[in-house]
Amino acid sequence: MRVKVVSIVPVNYVNKRDERVSGSEVHFLRSFNEREKEKSPRGTQYCDKVFTRLDCSNVQPEKPYDLVYECNGGRYAELVEIKAAS
């Protein structure tokens, strides 16, 4: 999915099960797909965020990237790579 990264926020806390959670929240903008365009006459972009444990040190805000997801057979997909858009 092609996105424009807006910001990267470090995440580091202890959850309710006393487990350390560390990674990054990647905040991004993406263009609406066709179905979303039909439902929203005013907007053309969607703002969202995704948590990842991937190394985000080379990801720069305001640049386009491709977010690569892998489906694990369940309902959820996992972010496996953040590639610079070509």
Q: Which of 70, 74, 31 minimizes the C-alpha distance to 54? A: 70
Q: How far apart, in whole angstroms, are the C-alpha atoms of residue 25 and residue 56?
A: 9
pLDDT digits (tens, 9 = 90+) for 43-76: 778 889 999 999 999 999 999 999 999 987 777 8
Residue 75 pLDDT = 78
* pLDDT per position as a tens digit, 16-53: 999 999 999 999 998 877 777 777 767 778 889 999 99
Beta strands in the chain (DSSP E): 2-14, 20-31, 45-52, 64-71, 77-84
Burial class (CB in 10 A: 0-12, 13-18, 19+), 67: buried
> 4: closest CA among 34, 40, 48?
48
